[in-house]
Chains A and B, each alone.
Chain A
Amino acid sequence: MVKGLEDRLFNVFVYAVLVFCALLAIFPILYVVSVSITPFGEVLRNGGFILIPRDVTFSAYKTLLTQSNLPQAFKITVLITVVGTAVNLILTGLMAYPLSRKNLPGRRIFLLMIVFTLIFSGGLIPTYLIVKSVGLIDSIWAMILPNAIWSFNVLIMKSFFEGLPEELFESARIDGAKEFRILFQIVTPLSIPVIMTIGLFYLVGHWNEFFQAIFYVTDRTLFPLQVIVREILMQSQQTLENADNITPTQTLQMAAVMIASLPVLVVYPFIQKYFTKGMLLGSIKG
């Protein structure tokens, strides 16, 4: 009985902590949502802080979607996210799978080369020179190809593939399957969790694409979402050195933030369930 009480107290404590953490996480999002749908005058009247909007307007969203570069940037971001993630997954998978096979000749050397890139990188200017010399400057491929494979994700995928029972491959071979058939019909369906997890990493990475766009792209029509959103947010942080500048209201800024982050917020819950099985490096997982 005593133990039961202790257990219950412990549960209450755990729940309290979890609820508190959840609130901490929800709070800023709620604030952003509220401000983005409240007229700015109303925001100011309330001392700049609003959690529950009383006066709702979508004019900020309308302004952004009709009078700014956001819609164009949105298209670019969706494009690089979809194409980029597909490229990423195919390349990462094709790299990780052979490395997971113990009988691959030179496996150790390949692995060492991959790990080497985790620790050392060429640096900004050599990378820029390569991107320039292969003619990627000012194209959407500059935001996709330079990061087509993240070495760390290769290692995660490799260790997932290694976890697949060897007997599976043996029986497939006995039934006459060749390497490609094994990869696509046996390994791939079994690897949905890791593909989804790694895919989400890549997807969020592409969605937040910023630095490569800043460095490799000068064509304004190719700027992705985050560059434009940053532009909108930066404007309000500069004092007017020029009378022509227009400072966007906080409502407008928050609406821009929402437009930029909503799609990922929507995708996350659907993929999250794969996380329990998907990512593992060493040790044992369910």
Chain B
Amino acid sequence: MTSKNPINTAQPEELTGAQILLKALAAEGVEVIFGYPGGQVLPIYDEIYRTKNITHILTRHEQGAVHAADGYARSTGKPGVCLATSGPGATNLVTGIANAYMDSVPIVAITGQVPSALLGRDSFQEADIVGITTPITKYSYLVKDVKDLARVIHEAFHIATTGRPGPVLIDIPKDITTEKTEFIYPPSLELPGYRLKSTVNLEQVNKAAEAIVKAKQPVLFVGGGVISSGASEEIGKLIELTDIPLTYSLMGKGAFPDNREQCLGMLGMHGTAYANYAAYESDLIFGIGVRFDDRVTGRLDTFGTQAKIIHIDIDPAEIGKNVQVDIPLAGDVKKVLQELNKVLENKGYRPAIEPWKQKIAEWKNKYPLKYETVPGVIKPQFVVEQIYAATNGEAYICTEVGQNQMWAAQYYSSLKPRNFITSGGLGTMGFGLPAAMGVQMAHPEAVVFNIAGDGSIQMNSQEFATIVQNKLPINVAILNNHTLGMVRQWQELFFDKHYSHTSMTGQPDFVKLADAYGAVGLRVEKPEDVRPALEEAISSPKAYILDFIIEADEKVYPMVPAGCSINNMLGR
């Protein structure tokens, strides 16, 4: 850089906190920020106004911004960034931060804060967002000195994206954004308490290999950790070497192609009967990047009681948290699997599991995923299958939460990782639509669907405006049963059909709603109109809301009642 004033060349340029923030974000490779302006972030927005290399997407609610950042992160593996002002802006991020925390998604949430001098005085739009989010972030910062800002941002991205990923929050008082200091991006990080395990315990790997070769009825159980670690290839290799059947948690969907013979689909409450039977009768459950969530294990004291359990997880605290583990393997899934595959290959280990495969094939045959077809009635499962067929399984599928989510998980075959975007741990209604915005921003050419229920879609439907403003060709498939379907299902099965407050009357006309926002709305009431509607939406560059009218009594089956063993299924 040349300067007219030779004295200034020796003196590095002083920048404001807002300028430092934008420069640091650019240094971290951030391309898009989802945010919403407000009083305490005005200096940051003024800097965004001047910045060319980072796109800012104005959502209509901060919750939309954080879910969009989340969707962006899940579909790319890169950290998602969102920005909100202090007080209500910051607290509106809370659900999205908790959502990302539960599913280990790397996001960096930046919040404005009242000026340092006003901190702690219950000032206008002040909220202790660091205090509020401490239990739901991997780490959080309140920046008290502009000199710390660059370091904090550098640390935040490092913490969010390494080890077990997760959300990090940076709270920046307004005065910090206007004060000036020299911009030095720290080349190294000083985090003595943040240890990343880089080695693999080969002794344990050998034990695991020996257990695998001895197993008669083994099952692989993969989770979101396989996807975030980028270990799908290693899973493929493991299957090639051992032929062990595989099941997955909701977060693990896409880690291994659904259309492969060894894939048993999802495990747990709404898992397939054959996956549940396989896990229940297994003599070796090999958990890989999965945390044995209660939605999967069902009643814990009956889960895998006859099985040896091997567990790989990057977070040692997950090992032994819910189930007793026989062979713990703490470490990055990809690295551990590479070592394990080496051992299996070199020693020619291959378990003898023909009878087991036979047994599973019989279960598959006897208890397939199924639904009844009724002439003239649209079945939600059929809609999901048709979305798969119309997109050759290449679409990005986002989901809301509830029946729509479970039908999507059961009937959409995921063929590659990061294509199935859903709120697993927290189960956040209203997640899918904004997440789809993040996905579409990251993949402008891709076909993106949000599979929704009529309840969930109304939780963040304001984001249709963001979608239309940014010309995002997102397709929303509402499986409209005019009820809060999953809650109604529980009421029918376990609460004597007391349908307490699950009927959604007074809904908007979704076709008109689409029209009001400048999107296209289609109501679909006959099975034969499903495919043409999907084709039209996919081929159009406009955003579409497809309102599929389905019947209220359709249920998600199989279902393991809460607190039961997973071999105990309704409607299998």
The answer to whether A and B belong to the same complex is: no
Interface residues of B (CB under 8 A from A): none
Interface residues of A (CB under 8 A from B): none
